Amino acid sequence: MDHAALAVLAAIASFFVVTVILAAIILICQHRKTTQTRRNNQIRTRPLRNPNHYPTSSSSLPVDASWSWDPNLKISMEELSRATKNFSNTLIVGDGSFGYVYKASLSTGATVAVKKLSPDAFQGFREFAAEMETLSKLRHHNIVKILGYWASGAERLLVYEFIEKGNLDQWLHESSPTSSSTHQNDEVSISIDFIRSPLPWETRVKIIRGVAHGLCYLHGLEKPIIHRDIKASNVLLDSEFEAHIADFGLARRMDKSHSHVSTQVAGTIGYMPPEYRDGSNVANPKVDVYSFGVLMIETVSGHRPNLAVKLEGNDIGLVNWARKMKERNTELEMLDGNIPREEGLKEESVREYVRIACMCTGELQKDRPEMPEVVKLLDSMPL
């Protein structure tokens, strides 16, 4: 082969090598771009996945300054990784604004729920501090128990007792006698190993009574705690359908000497009281009473609080609808069509329930009862 031919071959070979290198560079760049876009979407999808959720401002970050929590509650990352099979998607049981919740088995044999706050959820750090601080001191069978935590660098994990049957929102809005065992959201499948069939009337009342008892406990503490985010997805149900109030990320503790606490508006649209609409930035127990009343109406009717209900062809808010139905003595028409109609569903039971719900959702705070009175009324209502 002469020199000219060799030169041509060398040029072709160099051309191929350069092309391959260029192609590889382009592929790597594209991959990075896709990964970055996915990550950015994730940052955005967390808050957007719950567009009705109004968290508090993230202006201050009480992270490392407040690591004085009980060191006995600290659980190592190795243990949590092992217990969740390295945070396997197959063990995800919940998806909140600030991260996923996994079902996990600790080496002690205990089954627990592990909430892993997304490191990009700056706001989540505040929630973590608030939740840890508040929950670790509470003891009541209608309040979810916190068992431990892990915090290091940007990693924040909370460990709770595992509440088997998921949240009330799923039971109210994703039930059918043939419910499938997984629920697909935009990113993962959430596994459940039971069938959700529509809740009977007595079970709905039992759940509502449990929430009322839990709230009564919180408001009755020496320094009352206002939950500020009472809603169906924050009510977890155990195997006996006993309610456990969860998610204390927005909770505020009141000083004994004060009747309220000044804070940023927070909560979830549909459950927030009318005074927030008027610009009030104070929270007191009556805020929870209102959200609880909305939860009662949602539980009896199966209507989501943030969606309008049709009444005589007009769209009307859930609370106004309940009030109108009560005024017209048509409370029975409010009943969720999925409620199994066993013989003996007492009319007076539904009427009294709706009456209590309407009291709790009074427009003015002074018209709403306090939780001890609500508990008394609910415990003595006919079933």
Ligand X SMILES: Nc1ncnc2c1ncn2[C@@H]1O[C@H](COP(=O)(O)OP(=O)(O)OP(=O)(O)O)[C@@H](O)[C@H]1O
Binding-site annotation: residue ranges for ATP:
116
- The interface region with ligand X, picked from 8-16, 76-84, 233-241, 349-357 by CB under 6 A, is 233-241
Nearer to ligand X, 162 or 353 (CB): 162
With contact defined as beta carbons under 8 Å apart, do 231 and 295 qualify?
A: yes
- The interface region with ligand X, picked from 134-142, 159-167, 256-264, 276-284 by CB under 6 A, is 159-167
**Near ligand X by CB under 6 A: residue from 102, 125, 149, 160:** 160
* 230 touches ligand X (CB under 6 A): no
**Near ligand X by CB under 6 A: residue from 80, 130, 135, 144:** 144
With contact defined as beta carbons under 8 Å apart, do 93 and 166 qualify?
A: yes
| CB-CB neighbours of 377 under 10 Å | 17
* 352 touches ligand X (CB under 6 A): no
**Near ligand X by CB under 6 A: residue from 75, 83, 91, 93:** 93
Instruction: Measure the CA–CA gap between 25 and 350, rounded to whole angstroms.
Output: 68
* 210 touches ligand X (CB under 6 A): no
**Near ligand X by CB under 6 A: residue from 56, 118, 123, 234:** 234
* 130 touches ligand X (CB under 6 A): no
Active site residue 229: yes
- To ligand X, the closest distance from the beta carbon of 323 in angstroms equals 27
- To ligand X, the closest distance from the beta carbon of 125 in angstroms equals 14
- The interface region with ligand X, picked from 158-166, 179-187, 276-284, 350-358 by CB under 6 A, is 158-166
**Near ligand X by CB under 6 A: residue from 56, 97, 361, 365:** 97
- To ligand X, the closest distance from the beta carbon of 306 in angstroms equals 13
The two three-digit tokens of residue 139, written as one number:
């003891």
Using the Cα atoms of residue 296, residue 301, residue 302 and residue 304 in order, give the sign of their dihedral: negative
- To ligand X, the closest distance from the beta carbon of 83 in angstroms equals 14
Which residue has its beta carbon closest to ligand X?
94
With contact defined as beta carbons under 8 Å apart, do 234 and 247 qualify?
A: yes
* 96 touches ligand X (CB under 6 A): yes
**Near ligand X by CB under 6 A: residue from 124, 148, 166, 362:** 166
- The interface region with ligand X, picked from 88-96, 208-216, 258-266, 292-300 by CB under 6 A, is 88-96
Q: Out of 64, 70, 120, 229, which one is annotated catalytic?
A: 229
- Contacts of ligand X in 37-56 (CB under 6 A): 50, 53
* 265 touches ligand X (CB under 6 A): no
**Near ligand X by CB under 6 A: residue from 104, 121, 163, 294:** 163
What residues line the site for ligand X (CB under 6 A)? 50, 53, 93-98, 101, 113, 115, 144, 160, 162-163, 166-167, 233-234, 236, 246-247
Catalytic residues: 229
